[in-house]
Every structure is written in C-alpha cells, then in structure tokens.
Chain A
Amino acid sequence: MTRYIMFVCVDGDPDTDPAPEPDIEKWVADNDASGKRVGGDRLTEPQDATMVRLRDGKTLVTDGPFTEGKEFIVGFDLLECDSMDEAIAIAASHPMARRGRIEIRASWPLELDLS
C-alpha cells in the first residue's frame, strides 16, 4: 500500500464535456468508506495564503501563494492505494479532475530509502 497526496487545483482550461459532474460529497463518502481516503480538506483561498521562507537566518513571511495567476491549489486529499493506477482512478472520479486538475504525489516517509 502506498500513501499518496492529491493536490486539487484550479486551472485555466476546464473540461467542456456537458455530462453532469460527479458529486463531491459522494466522492468523499465513498472513498472514506472504502478506506482509500484517509484525510484531506478544502483550503482557504489563495489571497489568504501565506508564504514562509528562511534565508540567511531571517524569516521571510509574504502574503499570497507561490503560484501566480489562474492556477492554484484549492484542496488536498490523502489516499492509501495499492498502486498509482488506483490513485489515478480515484483522482479521475473527483469533480475537480474535470473543472481543474489534480496532482498526485506518492508520500516519501522519512525512513524510506529511495536511492
């Protein structure tokens, strides 16, 4: 089993398919029930984001997200899946896969040596 995070994002190029969109609450409920979704949340808007960096011993805090423009993260979900294919299928059934885009990253636990 691998843990994945999916970043749910808005982008400037949504789907034009007129078919009805999947229901987000059902998506959450189904994947919670199957144990594939182990957590996640919507995020507050990018104008309320805060960026933190440390440079030369100074903490730099700035207003706003790290991405500019029309693409930004609106939510995330934590998944536990048998393989990338399973994560892809779950992400693809999320309504934002059509309205926006989803980035999937496998988690990399500190004790895991990937060299």
Chain B
Amino acid sequence: MVSTLIRITGDWSLAEDCTADAFEKAIARWPNDGVPDNPGAWLTTVAKNKALDKLRRAANEARKLEQIAIMNELEVDDVELTDDRLRLIFTCCHPALPLEARVALTLRTVAGLTTPEIASAFLVPEPTMAQRLVRAQKKIKNAGIPYRVPPIELLPERLGGVLAVLYLLFNAGYTAVSRVDLAEEAIRLTRVLLQLMPAESEVQGLLALELLQHSRRRARLVDGELVPLEEQDRGLWDSSLIEEGLSLVRAGGRYQTQAAIAAVHARDDGDYSGLVALYDRLGDGPVIALNRAVAIGMAHGPEAGLAAIAALPASDYYLVPAARADFLRRLGRLDEAAEQYRRALEVVKTDDERRYLERRLAEVEA
C-alpha cells in the first residue's frame, strides 16, 4: 500500500504518514461499522484522500498541483499493488544509493521493519540509522532516481543489485547465528521477489541458496557452540527446506552456482567430486579461492587441501589460518595445527567462531 502511494505522490514520508493514518482510522471504525468487502481498497482510498488533502494544503508549489492531477487519473487494483512492490524493491536497491542505505531502505519500506528494529539488526545507534534512511530518501528525490522497474536492457545488472542486498541481509542473519530473524526476513523478501519474477533463474538460485543454508540453522549452534558441518546432527536439519531448496537448483549464473554448491552439502552423500568445478565457475577473490581449496581437500584429502591453500596468492582473508589448522589437525600434525589455530584466533571475527577455535586449540594441545 505504501508503495502505491509512493508511486502516486512521489513523496515517501507523506506516503508513510497517510498509510499510518488510514490504518488508525480502520482500527477506530471497523469494530463498529464492520470490515469492508475490500479492505485493501478501503485503506488505499482513505490514504489517498488524506494525501490529496495534505497536497492541496501545500498546493502553492506547481509541482504538487501536477501530482494532484495525476492522482485523480489513477485507479487502484491488485495488479498495480504487485507492480508497485517490484518498483519499490528496485528503487530501494538503486546503485546510486550507498549499499548500507539500500539494505536499510529495503527493510524499512519493503519489509516494513521499524527504524529501531533495523538499527538493532545492524548494531548501529538509532539516530544513525534514522539519518541513513532520511539521507537515502532525500537522494532518491534530489538526484532524480526514478521510481520504476528498470527497463529490459538494465534489468540483468539491476536485478543483481537487488539479489546482492537480499543476500547481504541473509548473511547478516547467518553469520551471527542468533539473528535468525534477519535470515528469515531475507527469505521472505526473496520469496516476494520470486512471486513477482517467477521465471528468473537467479532469483530461484538465491532462494535455493538461502533455504539450503537456513536448513541447518538448528544444527550449527548447539548449546551455544558452533558445530562444523561434518559433526552436525542430521536429525536437526530441516528436510522440508532442503527439499524445496534442491527443487529450485538448476544450471545458471552466480546464485545458481552457489546454490549448487550448497546442494552438494545438503545432499550429504559423500560425493564432493563436482564441488571444485562449481567453484571454478565462481571466479576469483580470496574467499572463493579459499573455499575452493577446502573443496579440494574434501574431494582429495587433507594433504591435497593443504597444498591447495599453500598455492593461494597471499591474502588477508581471516579464515585462511583456520582452514590450514583444520587440515593439519586431520593429518595429525598437532603442533603446526596449534600454531595456525593461534594465528586464526588473532583475526577471528565473531564470538561463536572464537569459542570454536579455542576449543580446537585446546584439543590439539592436549
């Protein structure tokens, strides 16, 4: 509903205010008058009229008079609500906006989270987050960022931007295992996007990736401790998420390839032979390169894995010593493993990971 009003009025805070007013009216009236036959249309009409009132009062500016004329011509129906949500998602994720602002704006306007909720999700003070949102909305207006689904020729690159925002959101909920709400919000939004663009294989790929990774959420952290994949209780894996995720995997681009990698782990049949080829398709960069080296270790044994890590170009990627330590541990080279676990602890990023590494260090030192 907010998205329809944004389209009609071009003014985000006006749209939000009028939507809130409409809901208040509904809460006040419907218990007495009864719920109307088409509550969505009732709400939108009330909100639209409210917006019209506000605009008329500010009608000295020629721009706004123009908007009133446009509003009077438009009808509201379900199809347009769907298109408006799509327009909203793409606008929130426009590349001219800073990445943090894109994520925040998507959560605020598409997912309907409140500013305090988003601030706490990203561990940022509330005024900072409020400012970030206001700045983003201003830039959309001041820089003339268009409120629309991008034209066909821009769609592939812009869709990538939307998927990146959604995946960033999912990851915020995945790495901090306790933030399951963020991961679930990302999945919900990805489902919305898939509903709006059902033929897009990369959207299917992203959803598959999220579902497959999310399926292990209960097994990854047990009694506050991080449990690595091979030690996880398969009974705690969510088989319906796995089934749905696997059904969405097909040959495709970046997200489909990552989903295919996740599928190898989810299928859990010990066959890692296809893994390395999948990583080859993802290209370069320290994260992918390390994962690929680990995949070599899974397919061909820890000695091969160590050699693959040794062949990597130097990087600051914080998980490199942890991966080395793991292979050394499997090979029984415990002193060397201990040294690598210590190095890994120097650069560890989260509390969960730190406790896991400390546990392993204690194991190899014993």
Q: List 12 A-B contacts (CB under 8 A).
A: A4-B144, A82-B144, A83-B145, A84-B96, A84-B143, A84-B144, A84-B145, A84-B146, A87-B144, A88-B96, A106-B144, A108-B142
Residue B362 is within 8 A (CB to CB) of chain A in the complex: no
Which one, A81, A82, A87, A106, contacts B142 given CB within 8 A?
Answer: A106
Tell me the chain A residues, 1-16 only, with Cβ under 8 Å from chain B. Answer: 2, 4
CA distance A83 to B150 in the complex (A): 12
Residue B28 is within 8 A (CB to CB) of chain A in the complex: no
Whole-angstrom distance between the Cβ of B67 and the nearest chain A Cβ: 15
> How does the 8 Å CB contact mask read for B141-169 relative to A, with 1 for contact and 0 for none?
11111100010001000000000000000
Besides A85-B154, A87-B144, A106-B143, 13 more A-B contacts (Cβ < 8 Å) are A2-B144, A4-B144, A83-B146, A84-B94, A84-B143, A84-B144, A84-B145, A85-B145, A85-B150, A105-B143, A106-B142, A108-B142, A114-B142
CA distance A106 to B144 in the complex (A): 8
Q: Which residues of B contact A105 (CB under 8 A)?
A: 143
CA distance A2 to B144 in the complex (A): 7
Secondary structure dominating the interface of A: mixed
A: contact size bracket: 10 to 19
Q: Which residues of B contact A2 (CB under 8 A)?
A: 144
Whole-angstrom distance between the Cβ of B141 and the nearest chain A Cβ: 7
Whole-angstrom distance between the Cβ of A80 and the nearest chain B Cβ: 11
Q: Which residues of B contact A108 (CB under 8 A)?
A: 142
Interface residues in chain A, defined as those with a beta carbon under 8 Å from any beta carbon in chain B: 2, 4, 81-85, 87-88, 104-106, 108, 114
Question: B144 — nearest CB in chain A belongs to which residue?
Answer: A2
Whole-angstrom distance between the Cβ of B142 and the nearest chain A Cβ: 6
Question: B146 — nearest CB in chain A belongs to which residue?
Answer: A83
Residue B300 is within 8 A (CB to CB) of chain A in the complex: no
Enumerate the 8 nearest inter-chain pairs by beta-carbon distance, A residue then B residue, closest first: A83-B146, A2-B144, A84-B144, A84-B145, A106-B143, A83-B144, A84-B143, A85-B146
Q: Which residues of A contact B142 (CB under 8 A)?
A: 106, 108, 114
Residue B138 is within 8 A (CB to CB) of chain A in the complex: yes
Question: B94 — nearest CB in chain A belongs to which residue?
Answer: A84
CA distance A83 to B154 in the complex (A): 14
> How does the 8 Å CB contact mask read for B125-147 relative to A, with 1 for contact and 0 for none?
00000000000001001111110
CA distance A114 to B141 in the complex (A): 8
Whole-angstrom distance between the Cβ of A58 and the nearest chain B Cβ: 34
Q: Please judge, given known A-B contacts A84-B145, A85-B154, whether A114 and B138 are in contact too, CB under 8 Å.
A: yes
B141 touches A81 (CB 8 A): no
Q: Which residues of A contact B146 (CB under 8 A)?
A: 82-85
CA distance A22 to B160 in the complex (A): 26
Question: A89 — nearest CB in chain B belongs to which residue?
Answer: B154
CA distance A2 to B96 in the complex (A): 16
CA distance A87 to B95 in the complex (A): 13
Q: Which residues of A contact B143 (CB under 8 A)?
A: 84, 104-106
Question: B96 — nearest CB in chain A belongs to which residue?
Answer: A84
> How does the 8 Å CB contact mask read for B87-104 relative to A, with 1 for contact and 0 for none?
000000010100000000
CA distance A114 to B150 in the complex (A): 25
> How does the 8 Å CB contact mask read for B333-363 relative to A, with 1 for contact and 0 for none?
0000000000000000000000000000000
Question: A106 — nearest CB in chain B belongs to which residue?
Answer: B143
CA distance A45 to B158 in the complex (A): 37
CA distance A83 to B144 in the complex (A): 5
Which one, B94, B144, B154, contacts A81 given CB within 8 A?
Answer: B144
Among A2, A82, A84, A87: residue with most chain B CB under 10 A? A84
Q: Which residues of B contact A88 (CB under 8 A)?
A: 96
